[in-house]
Structure formats: structure tokens, C-alpha cells
Structure 1
Amino acid sequence: MKIHPLITTTDALADLCGRLAKSDFVTVDTEFMRENTYWPELCLVQIANTEEAAAVDPLAPGLDMKPLWDLLTDNEEVLKVFHAGGQDVEIVYNFTGRTPHPIFDTQIAMMAISQSEQIGYSNMVESWLGIVVDKGARFTDWSRRPLTERQIEYAIGDVTHLCKIFPKILARLKKTGRGAWLDQEMEKLADPENYRNDPNEAWERIKAPSRNATVLGRLRALAAWREVEAQDKNIPRGRIARDETVADIASHPPKTQADLAKVRGLSAGWKDNEIGRRLMQTLADAQPLTDAEMPPRAPRGAPLGKEGALVADLLKLLLKIRSREIDVAARLLARSDELEMLAAGVRKKLPILEGWRYDVFGHDALDLVEGKMAFAVVDGKLKMTHVDDVVEEAPEQVADDSQGDSVGDTAA
């Protein structure tokens, strides 16, 4: 495989993307910094096919990234392969308003052919290629220039290794017939709605302090205000105010700006500065949520109760058994909240009761809830079995036990 020098000009990038556009697939990775910023700072993009690989420096003066963004978001003929690509996709979306498509994530794919829930890149490389990845450059400052040869070599290795692993994973998926299982998961990963950042929806990520419409209205307004402040200053939202501080202010709003000095988590300077004034104005303008805007009372399904919680535990046990039997990550089959909703009596709009998940796991889960499934120990291993099968075996076992008791009594 040909490894190109670090790409720092638009012409070199356009030439590379022109060649890569003829590939069946490309592997992609990014290096970025976001510890001290709201928006991730893109520092490097690595891309490869089976013949060549390169790292692109988005911080190079005068470099236009458009050829790369067009390849990733507009070319439907080339599959874009990532590993744990959620943050990489987010970066592309932030720059373009679009997401890479079609897309394939090897971390998600590994869940369909093994019990690995979230296998790390280094572990995957060692498992498939027997190569131990040098992690020494992983936590370096990718924004500092010039980049060292070691940094660039480490970064490009992410995509060259992936080029070798992806065909192997694809072949395993075809052999197991589970490729179709992943279609929906990959489409979710590429859905632009997952990366759209609407400040008016930021409050939904904060644990609601109550179900009072007025309090929730203040929470929505404060969370949106914080989001805009953080975006404008390009600093993490927590640097403006932590979640618990926002929730506390929503529940117990200060009467005057001077009272902000008493709020835990805020600087005393807010009592008379501009950001404090903006916060107080946000509170003054906040409107209660309407009935239509109120969150559902039971976002995780109907109340379980003590018996329902026990049923949910049995469903989780069933999930572990099934994932072990077919060598699939449990998380790919079902989430805990889905099992709790099933135990609580919910039957509609549950992914485990639809499509391939129903065939592989949901059918048995439903049988367990309805009393048609049982657990048994076979050859020292816990397995699931249908109640009808147990009933058929029971009479013969009872006869054997009875006969044994007779002999014992006679001997006595």
C-alpha cells in the first residue's frame, strides 16, 4: 500500500479524492481536540483504500477540504468505513450539514458476529491481525504543528489496518447471514437528525427537577441560553454552568441578579456582570410548557412494580443466554429499557418485537413473559426451553424416581 506524505494543499487533496472515488470502499478516521471547546477542533483526517493511504491536514493554510467532504457525503458509490464513527460523523456534519453515506461501522458490525459490546480499535486490530497498536501517540496534542512522523504514522495506521479488517468482517457477516441485521443500525448512524444541535431541545438531556410545567419551562429556557452562550464562546457548556446548577436555578429561581452570588456553581461576579443579566432576562422570558410539550409520565414504559421487576430480571437472563448461544452482543439484540417495557406489558413499537430481532430473541422473550418458557440446566450450562418440552419429559422422570424409591424401601 502506498503511503502519501501529509497532504497540505487543495490540489493534492483533489487528486487523492479523485482516485479514491473509484474505490468500492474507503476507511476513514479523524483526530480532533474538544476538551476546551464546544465544537470539536478537527486536526487531522486519515483516509485509505486497498491501494493507498494518506493523512490530510485541515489546519494547513489555504487548504480547501471540499474535495474530501464531497467524497464522503455526495458519492453514493463508495462505502465509507469507520470504527466507532459517531464522533467522526458528527465532525463531518458540523462542517457540511451532511453525513457520510453509505456508511459501515466495524464496532457495530462486531456486535453481530461476536459478544463484544463495544470493542476498542486496538483490541480489534490485535484480534484480527495479531498486531499490537502503539498507543503512545494517542493522547498527544494533535493541534500542535508541525506534526511528528510518529504521530502521522500512528494516525495513518488506523485506516490501513481497517482496510485489512473490513473485508474479513464482511466475509464473516456473509457467512453468518447477519449482514441485513446491520442495515438499520448503519442508517441510524448516518441519520443527520442525530447530529443536529437544537438549543431548544438541550433541556431534554438534563434530569428534570420536577413535572411542574413552570419549572420545566424555565429549565428549557435556561438550557437553551446556556447552549447559545457556550456556542458563541466556543467553550464546553459545563464551563458556563453545570447541569445540576441549571436544574437548581430552574427549581429555585433567584429573585434578583444579586442573588446569583448565592447560587452554588456560579461565580460571585455574576451578580453584576453581563452574563448574569442575560441569565436573569432568560428567566424573565421563560414560558411554562404546554400540555403538548410536557414529557410523558413514564418515559421508560409502564410502571414495573415488584413482580414486573422480577420478570425483567428473567428477561435479562434470557438475553444473556441467547446472546451466548448465537455469539452476538446482547446490546445488539435488546436494550434494558425495552425488556422492562415488555415486562410491564408494553407490546407496541418495541424493536425486539419486530423484524429479525423478533425472530432471534423477541419471540422467546414474549413466550417467557406469557409463561411458555422456562430455564433448565443441561450439561452444567443454563439454557432456555419451552414449558411443553419440560412437561413431555416429566412423566418418564417421575416413573424412574418412583421405581428407585420402591427398591430402597424393599431393601430396608
Structure 2
Amino acid sequence: MTKLASVILTISVFLLQSANAESTWSSCINEAQQELAKGNFAAGETKFKQSLATADESNLYQIQWSHYYLGELYLSQKKLDLAEREFNAVLKQSRKDGMSGAALSSLAKIYDSKKNIAAANRIKTEANQGGDEVDYSQYMKKVSVEIKRHWHPQKLQSHANTVVAFYLDEEGTPKEIHLAHASGNLKSDEAALNAVESTAPFGKLPSSKGYPCIDFSFEYNVYGASGARYFAELNSPAQKQVDAKFAKLAIKERELKHQLLLLDNRNDVPPVAALKTLSQLMDCLIEEKNFGSAQKLATRILAYYEKGQTPDLTAAHVWLQKGGIAVAENKMIEARDCYKQSLLITRQVGPAGSAQEQESTLALAKCLYQLGEADAAKELYDKLKSFKATQPK
């Protein structure tokens, strides 16, 4: 059995005044996450509230995360007012640390759902401003390697995913270790927690501005007939109930990420060789509504296009998909511009009336109609009719 590893780290910075771990707080959080993994949302909510009661009042980390987890639970249940209250409670602690950025992002989703576009845009702008960025990339590579060395999961018959959260003090020692997402398998969760708890200090941090907080994902997957295992990023840690369609998409996503990892690690393969896999993974992420990750892949593909290394029709497809993401996020002006780019490219490379040109034309027409540009939309609809009229029967 081989083990392929690719661990995703999510890093944010917290300015903490107290670094004392409270096992009772961590226990409440762990129990809450395990209740959520079993679908016991009421019990999970109760445990999160207990974590607030046991939190050290001087420990910004504990208070922020308790409110944040409650907010994410309420958001997943569409209890928007309760979620908004919890995320605002996070922001009351500080407005310049990493957890506040996550809370702002979730607040933007709430305002989008409430059709409060002005508030959503304001929050998104504030979330994107952030503070001074610290490059932790090299440091986190060392963290990843060390934790993986201590991860010894028992053999399982099915997939299990655990996310462990913690912060690093000045000496690089993990503190406040707890579950950010439980797998539903106690042994898998215990192995993940032990992996972090068993590590020695990683060395002094590259910056004294704050403590990095890490979400460390452990994914155990019985992969194919060979039983190979590898780690992957959780697509949506808050999503506890996975339907059959999503399960298939999740499998496809893991396979594509694995292919991409192998291609990226080969020195003899040019970066553009991964274009097909990048495009397929982007489409998969969009179908899963993981728009943020899909946008990153789209940016990478279009960067190759600007260098003349991406086929025109691939670039046209990416612009079309970016337009779809913008529509889903109610950014109609941005969607219009993306669809125009897609249509421009398809018209340049031809042939006239191709399936891809028709797809871009239809998307742009619908977008223009929603923007109130009825005349321009009608012109495109008429163009579509002419395409169909000239097609052989």
C-alpha cells in the first residue's frame, strides 16, 4: 500500500494576549464537532455554547472560534439572523486578525442571501483589505512534514476526513489543539489530534506580529483497488450531509487533485501540460459551488493564455465559467465582461456558429437581459436564431 500526501493548510493570524490552553474548552469544541458529524445539530449547538462558558475571558482565540463555529452552524441551517449575531461577536474582539477575515467573508454570504447587495459589497471590500501579509510558506512546509510524520491512522474501510485547528506560539509550539471538523470516526479524529499533539516546537516564527492559526486537514481515503491513501482539502467543512451527486463529485475532485499534484511535482513536464487537468478540476469545483478555489484555477489558466501557452477555446471556456461564477455571486457587470471575453475569443478562432460560440452568445444574451439591456440581448437572440437556421438538418 502506498501513501500519497498533500496536506492543505489554512493560515490566519491572531493577535493573542493569552497562550494558556484550556482543556475544558477544547473538550467542548471537540464534542460539539463530533455531534455535528453524527447529525446531532442541537447537541452540537449546546456544546459550542458550553465552550463559550468555559473560555478564558482573556483568550481571544477561544472566544473568537466559539462564536465562529456557532455562526457557521447557524449559517448551514439558514438561520441567518443568529449566524449574523455570532459573526458580529467575532468582529467585536478585533477587526484586523485572520478570524475576523473569515467572519467577514461569512457575513458577506449572509447579506448576499438577504439580497442586501450594498452591505455584502462593503463587507467583501473590508474582508479583502486585510492587514500586513507575512509569508509563512516555507515555515509551513516544515510544519506539514513534521505533522505528517506523526500521523498513524488505523486502517479503515471507508473515507474519513478530520480537520484539526491550532495556533503556534513564539517558539512554534501548537496550542489550543482542537477539532475544526470531525470525521464521524472517533479513531480517525484521535489519530489526527495525536499527530499534532506529538510534534515538537517547529522553531521561532518568521514574524512577531501575531500567531498563525492553522486548519490542518487529514483525509483518509481507500482509493481504488490498490487501497492508496492521500490527503486532500475539505471542499466544505460545514457540509455534514453529502448526497450521491456530491459524493461522485468529491471522488472526481480528489482524483483530479491527485493528477495535478503528480504533474506539478514532475520537473520534466512543462506547467502547461496540466491545462486539461486544471480545466476539468475548475469545472468540478464550480459544480460543487466551490467558487473561490475555481477562481484560483481560472486565474492560473488565463495567466498561461496571456503568455500564449493556452489554446484559445480553453481560454474561452474559462471566461465562460468565470461568467457563471459571477452570475451565481450576483455580480452581473463582471459576468457580462467575462461572457464578452469568451464570445470575442470564440468568434476570432471560429468557425462561425460553433457550439461554443452559441453557448457564449446565449449566456451573454441572458446576462444583458437581466441588466436591462434588452435591445442588445435581442440582437444576440436573433443571432442565435440565424445560427440554428443555417445548421444542416
Query: Into which bin does the TM-score normalised by the smaller protein fall?
Result: under 0.3
TM-score, length-scaled by structure 1: 0.21
TM-score (norm 2): 0.22
Higher relative CO (CA 8 A, sep ≥ 6), structure 1 or 2? 2
Greater Rg over alpha carbons, structure: 1
